[in-house]
Amino acid sequence: MTDRMILNRVKKLKELEEQKKEIESQIDALKADIQQDMEEKGLEEQKAGDFLVRFTRVLSNRFDSRAFREEHSRLYSQYLKQTESRRFSIV
């Protein structure tokens, strides 16, 4: 690929990433509006035309690795696994 081709692809990528941010922002705002309305009405489930909208509470248990590392550092280090990945960035 020529430098010009790469530059054009990078510019297009940056444009698309900006559009993605704008769309995600709009999506988040719409979700927040719907959630706020349901919360004000005290609803966890609401019918909207052909759609069923749910805003429910979910309980889950998660492992607190930071607390475990602080309290059992030797045991924690025995189970560490080094991984390798590649990072793509444009600055």
Q: What is the mean pLDDT, run by run of 10 residues, along the chain of 91 residues? A: 96 98 98 98 97 97 97 96 94 90
Residue showing tokens 């704008």: 22
Provide the number of structural domains found in the chain: 1
Residue showing tokens 């991984």: 83
pLDDT on residue 25: 98
Domain range enclosing 33: 3-78
pLDDT on residue 13: 97
Residue 86 inside a domain? The answer is no
> Bridge-partner residues for 46, per DSSP?
53
Instruction: Tell me the pTM.
Output: 0.74
DSSP 58: -
Residue 46 inside a domain? The answer is yes
pLDDT on residue 22: 98
pLDDT on residue 26: 98
pLDDT on residue 17: 97
Residue 66 inside a domain? The answer is yes
